C-alpha cells in the first residue's frame, strides 16, 4: 500500500541537517569544562539530551524538507488536496519512541540528582556570605574568614550560602552547581571539585549596581596542601585574637598620667593645642566630660577629621588617664 520510501534523498537531507546542527557544538563553547564530580554527571546527561535531540531533529526535518519540496502545490493548483486518513502505525511509533526516550531521561535525571545531593561523611563545611558586592568565606572549624574560597580537590565541600543584605546567587560555572543566597535562609550546596586550579565565583542574581563586578575566586588545591594552609591560617587567627584580647585588656587597665602626657604631646598635640586645654585644629578636651570608654572609642575608631588607631594598647590607657586628668 505504501509508496517506496525515498531513502537516498532523505538520508542526504538528514546528513546535511545533522552536520549543520552538530557543527554548533564545535563552533560555540556551550558548557565549561566539568571540573567537579557533580558537573561530570550533569554534563553527561546534558550531552545525551543534546545528541538525542540532534538525531530526532535530523529525522523530522529531513522528512519535512523532502515533503515540502516533493509535494509542493503547482502554481495554478488552488485545490484542497485529497482527504487523507491517519496512519495508525506511524502514530503509535511517534508516541512510543519519544515516551521511551523521556522515560530514560527521567530515570537518569533522578539518579543524577540523587547522587549529587548525597552527603559525604568526611565533607568540609564552609560558610559563604554574600553581600553587595563581594563574597566572604568562613571556615567554622578553623575560626577564620577569607576573601578567596580555598578547597581541597577530591573531597566533598558543603557550602552554607547566606546573604547579608539582598538576594545573590553563588555560581562556579565549572562546578555546574548554583544556588541563591537569600536573607534569612541558609542554602546548602554540595560540590566535589576534581581538578586543582583557579575558578571564578560569579554572582548570578541581579543584586544592584555592582552586580556585574561581584566576582570572587575559588582555589582548588591538593588535599595535603589544603590541610597545611588551614592549620597555618587557624594558628594565625588564634595568635591574632590573643593579641587583640591582650591589647584590649591593656587599653582598659589604669593608665599613667605622666606617660600619657608625653604620648599626647607627641601624637595628639599637633591638633589639640595647649596639650588639650585649648581649641586648635581639634577641639578643646579639658572639660569635655567623657567617660574612659568614650575616649577609648574616639581614639580607636576616629571620627570626623580625626583618624582612628593613632594610639593603642597601654599607650591608649595612658592617654585616657591624661585626658581625664585635665577634666
Q: Which residues bind ligand CUA (CB under 6 A)?
A: 130, 133, 168, 203, 205-207, 211, 214
* Cβ nearer to ligand CUA, comparing 190 with 201: 201
* Cβ nearer to ligand CUA, comparing 130 with 177: 130
Q: At what angle do helices 292-301 and 223-252 cross, to 10 degrees?
A: 140
Question: Within the chain, where are the H helices?
Answer: 7-27, 37-70, 88-116, 223-252, 257-267, 292-301, 313-325
Among 148, 123, 170, residue whose Cα is nearest residue 138: 148
Minimum distance from residue 163 beta carbon to ligand CUA (Å):
8
Minimum distance from residue 124 beta carbon to ligand CUA (Å):
24
Minimum distance from residue 43 beta carbon to ligand CUA (Å):
25
Buried b (16+ CB within 10 A) or exposed e, 182-212: beeeebebbbbbbebeebebbbbbebeeebe
Minimum distance from residue 169 beta carbon to ligand CUA (Å):
7
Minimum distance from residue 204 beta carbon to ligand CUA (Å):
7
Minimum distance from residue 190 beta carbon to ligand CUA (Å):
21
Q: Match 585644629 to its residue by C-alpha cell.
A: 281
Which residues lie below 8 Å from residue 93, measured CB to CB, with a gap of 6+?
none
CA distance 279 to 282: 6
* Cβ nearer to ligand CUA, comparing 155 with 211: 211
* Cβ nearer to ligand CUA, comparing 34 with 189: 189
* Cβ nearer to ligand CUA, comparing 11 with 206: 206
* Cβ nearer to ligand CUA, comparing 161 with 268: 161
Residue 294, C-alpha cell as written in the block:
568614650
* Cβ nearer to ligand CUA, comparing 48 with 129: 129
Q: What share of the chain is helix, strand, coil (3-state, %, to 5)?
A: 50, 20, 35
Minimum distance from residue 173 beta carbon to ligand CUA (Å):
15
Q: Does residue 192 sit in helix, strand or coil? A: coil
Which residues lie below 8 Å from residue 155, measured CB to CB, with a gap of 6+?
120, 122, 123, 124, 192, 223
Amino acid at each position: 500500500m505504501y509508496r517506496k520510501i525515498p531513502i537516498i534523498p532523505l538520508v542526504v537531507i538528514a546528513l546535511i541537517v545533522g552536520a549543520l546542527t552538530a557543527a554548533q557544538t564545535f563552533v560555540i563553547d556551550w558548557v565549561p569544562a566539568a571540573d567537579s564530580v557533580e558537573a561530570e554527571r550533569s554534563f553527561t546527561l546534558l550531552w545525551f539530551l543534546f545528541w538525542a535531540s540532534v538525531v530526532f531533529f535530523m529525522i523530522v526535518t529531513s522528512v519535512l524538507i523532502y515533503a515540502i519540496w516533493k509535494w509542493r502545490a503547482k502554481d495554478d493548483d488552488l485545490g484542497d488536496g485529497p482527504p487523507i486518513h491517519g496512519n495508525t502505525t506511524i502514530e503509535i511509533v511517534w508516541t512510543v519512541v519519544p515516551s521511551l526516550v523521556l522515560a530514560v531521561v527521567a530515570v537518569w535525571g533522578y539518579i543524577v540528582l540523587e547522587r549529587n545531593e548525597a552527603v559525604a561523611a568526611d565533607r568540609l563545611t564552609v560558610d559563604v556570605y554574600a553581600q553587595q558586592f563581594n563574597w566572604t568565606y568562613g571556615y567554622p572549624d578553623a575560626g577564620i574568614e577569607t576573601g578567596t574560597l580555598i578547597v581541597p580537590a577530591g573531597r566533598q565541600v558543603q557550602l552554607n550560602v547566606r546573604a547579608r543584605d539582598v538576594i545573590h546567587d553563588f555560581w562556579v560555572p565549572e562546578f555546574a552547581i548554583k544556588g541563591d543566597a537569600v536573607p534569612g535562609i541558609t542554602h546548602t550546596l554540595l560540590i566535589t571539585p576534581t581538578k586543582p586550579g583557579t575558578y571564578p565565583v560569579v554572582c548570578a542574581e541581579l543584586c544592584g549596581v555592582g552586580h556585574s563586578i561581584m566576582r570572587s575566586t575559588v582555589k582548588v588545591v591538593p588535599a595535603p596542601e589544603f590541610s597545611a594552609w588551614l592549620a597555618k591560617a587557624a594558628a594565625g587567627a588564634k595568635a591574632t585574637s590573643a593579641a587583640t584580647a591582650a591589647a584590649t585588656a591593656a587599653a582598659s587597665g589604669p593608665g599613667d598620667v605622666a606617660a600619657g602626657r608625653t604620648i599626647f604631646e607627641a601624637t595628639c598635640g599637633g591638633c589639640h593645642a595647649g596639650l588639650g586645654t585649648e581649641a586648635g585644629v581639634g577641639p578643646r578636651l579639658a572639660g569635655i566630660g567623657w567617660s574612659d570608654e568614650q575616649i577609648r572609642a574616639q581614639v580607636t575608631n576616629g571620627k570626623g577629621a580625626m583618624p582612628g588607631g593613632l594610639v593603642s594598647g597601654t599607650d591608649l590607657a595612658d592617654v585616657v588617664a591624661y585626658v581625664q586628668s585635665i577634666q
